[in-house]
Structure 1
């Protein structure tokens, strides 16, 4: 099983009502929530670790996960409100978010203790690695499960609006690398974490990525938008080009990449630390190509709607 830890929230997406007036349409989401659904839809045995509200939105989030076949044994429930994200889709290629997070349920997650024996990998990221006290809980999970020999994956998925102290967060991210097998990050994530120019290329950020590998990560998977994906390891760089798609919006595209990456590793390769370390260029090309195809389906649909295996 793959355990995905982090927030499940509600996106409020701008839309036009039947009378032509502006409205906000609620859509279930959150990076970890979307990634868990992508993994489950692509055939991976997936569980979710979080605290989900017992309000109406929270009940809908839990029901969606259950309906998608995601195991909820590690989900905690509480009467705190659900996190809300107001989505700005004015630029379909660069969706922006504003967050309402004070006292919400997901940031109050409790440490579940050592994970079950059948867990092969733990995936963490997005707001859950920023907002306290939950961020410290997930850090404890990351360190403990890494020490237990499990594959650990971190997707920083930077949301700068909720990071009050960028320098402290950047330092904390580097500390996490000692406990991380795979980092999945966009070019924009890497540029923000390295505090360099936003308009960067893969070549621009390669020295930063390689420093992350020296700090402990076995691989860094870099999403390049329409240009595809790259995997950087101590052995070199493997790239998979993008797949042409008519872009409706990019909501959930990176989460789909993460879900597809882990599902493919789990089902077709060896999802162990040693297995990731020993992956050949051909193996990485297979995994990246699968993730690119999955993301192309997601961006062709409105909202975070990752593909099922039959769609690919």
Structure 2
């Protein structure tokens, strides 16, 4: 199967060292949820093609090199002179990442209709996060997802600071879930994503179940942090696996790497959802023990799972 991963590739500026009150040192890491998933899929040995807009500036060249080094094919990528998008990252005491974005007129958000390929029914399209929400290109992403023949998976990956209006944000997400449901696709969100979208942190699985039925999804996956992950299927079927106890360095790329591990396993055996969830949870457990989004290889993941 060919995985086509659509969405943003950007630079995460992460604090490294305070030199003086006037100066600090930062690291520019290659990031962006969809790009992280593409890299993770390729490192797991999957045929992975990145569908994104890559700048010709210095940061864009870094992102291009990062994708190529991981074995991600760039035949579907778009080259642009738009500046690379930036995310300034801060970490709390538990290593959880928070983001502040610099996106106006940057590469990821200026999609044009003619920049999307025609995918086949045996392709798998994975997309998500900010490029599917932020204009002016988000409408063209929705149009692409709405007409593609490929089965799709969508990682909601809410970033409230980019669109603080919950109602408007959920309206965009709902349109994308409806598009994914055309071909019986899959949607993934964290419990925190769902709590913010619906302004209710009581029972994320109940919302997942309602959306599976309303939008015709084959599955809605809810990541639950240290409590593992659950998949809700039509008819109220829930499959849940536990998380792993590991020493967390930071959570950058955890959800993105989970999706790669899950999709890699699910594509090879769609009948065993529990095994696919376990594969994804193990991949995420490895990446949070590392600084930045550094997903495991297939050999590392196999060794971790024993």
TM-score (norm 2): 0.90
Spell out the pairing of 1:271-290 with structure 2 (5 A cutoff): 279=271, 283-290=272-279
In the alignment, which residue of structure 2 is the partner of 1:140? 143
Do 1:2 and 1:119's aligned partners in 2 also have CA atoms closer than 8 Å?
Answer: no
* 2:193 aligned residue (189, 202, 208): 189
Pick closer, same or farther for the CA change 1:103–1:113 going to 2, 3 Å.
closer
Question: What's the CA shift string for 1:253-293, capped at 9, x where partnerless?
Answer: 01101111111122x214xxxxxxxx3xxx11100111111
Residues 133 and 119 of structure 1: is their aligned pair in 2 closer, same or farther, counting only changes over 3 Å? Answer: farther
Task: Evaluate the alpha carbon distance shift between residue 118 and residue 171 of structure 1 in structure 2; reply closer, same or farther with a 3 A threshold.
Answer: closer
3-state DSSP of counterpart to 2:105: coil
Can you give the 5+ residue segments of structure 1 that lack an aligned partner in the other structure? Answer: 271-278
Q: How does 1:246-265 map to 2 (within 5 A)?
A: 246-265=247-266
CA RMSD of aligned residues (A): 1.8
Match status 1:177 vs 2:213: no
- 4+ residue stretches of structure 1 with deviation over 4 A? 17-21
Classify the secondary structure of the residue corresponding to 2:51. Answer: strand
Give the CA deviation at 1:12. 0.5
Q: CA deviation at 1:120?
A: 1.7
Q: Secondary structure at 2:74's aligned position in 1?
A: strand
User: 1:4 touches 1:36 (CA, 8 Å); kept in 2?
Assistant: yes
Match of 2:156 in 1: 156
Q: Aligned residue for 1:128? A: 131
CA distance in 2, matches of 1:66, 1:208: 38
1:6 paired residue number: 7
The count of corresponding residues between Structure 1 and Structure 2 is 292
Closer, same or farther: CA 209–251 of 1 in aligned 2, 3 Å: same
CA drift at 1:164: 4.9
Question: Does the 8 A contact of 2:166 with 2:198 survive in 1?
Answer: no
Cα distance in 2 for residues equivalent to 1:76 and 1:195: 37
Flag the 1:53–1:119 CA change in 2: closer, same or farther, 3 A: farther
Aligned mates of 1:176, 1:8 — CA distance in 2: 20
1:273 match? none
Instruction: Work out which of the residue numbers 280, 283, 293 in structure 1 matches 2:282.
Output: 293
How far off its partner does 1:115 sit? 2.3
Cα deviations by residue, 1:79-110 (Å, 9 ceiling, x for unpaired): 11110000011233431000000100111122
Please state whether the residue corresponding to 1:207 is helix, strand or coil: helix
Q: Against the structure 1 CA distance between its residues 107 and 244, is the aligned structure 2 distance closer, same or farther, given a 3 Å change threshold? A: same
Match of 1:275 in 2: none
Who is 1:274 aligned against? none
Q: Does 1:33 align with 2:28?
A: no
Tell which has more relative contact order, 1 or 2 (C-alpha 8 A, sep 6+): 1
Q: Structure 1 residues 116 and 182, CA, compared in 2 at 3 Å: closer, same or farther? A: closer
Aligned-partner Cα distance in 2 for 1:172–1:58: 28
Whole-angstrom distance in 2 between the partners of 1:82 and 1:133: 16
Matches of 1:187 and 1:301 in 2, distance apart?
A: 23
Residue 75 (structure 2) aligns with: 73
How far apart are the structure 2 equivalents of 1:191 and 1:115?
35
CA contact (8 A) 1:53 1:81 kept: yes
- Cα distance in 1 for residues equivalent to 2:116 and 2:286: 37
